[in-house]
Amino acid sequence: MNTLIIETNKSVDRYIETPHHFYASSFCTWKTGADMREVIAHMEKEGYEYTLWYVPAAEADSYQIKYYAPQVEGSFVLSTFTPKKKSRK
């Protein structure tokens, strides 16, 4: 089980101890993973604007995606990113 630590002002506000993963999607690609940094790194290499989600379900769980958004109760957007460098060919 992963533990997501949410920090504010250098103090830990709360722990979320529930199966979870991160889901990122752009108009042409997507990526999931337990390590948020790996998901972001993958999407940055793709070079397209993307949205990063927190999904309160195990990565192996099956769920629907609708309009690029995970259909899991409790999912929320962490941020939308525009890659600094266009790396696509």
How many CB atoms lie under 10 A from the CB of residue 29?
14
- Return the closest-CA partner of residue 49 out of 71, 74, 28, 67: 28
Please, what's the b/e burial string for 31-68 (b: 16 or more CB within 10 A of its CB; e: otherwise)? Answer: bbbeeeeebbebbbebbbebbbbbbbbeeeeeeeeeee
pLDDT tens digit at each of 89 positions of the chain: 555 555 544 444 444 567 899 999 999 999 999 999 999 999 999 999 999 999 999 999 999 999 999 999 999 999 999 988 665 55
Burial group, residue 7, by CB count within 10 angstroms (0-12, 13-18, 19+): exposed
Give pLDDT, residue 84. Answer: 80
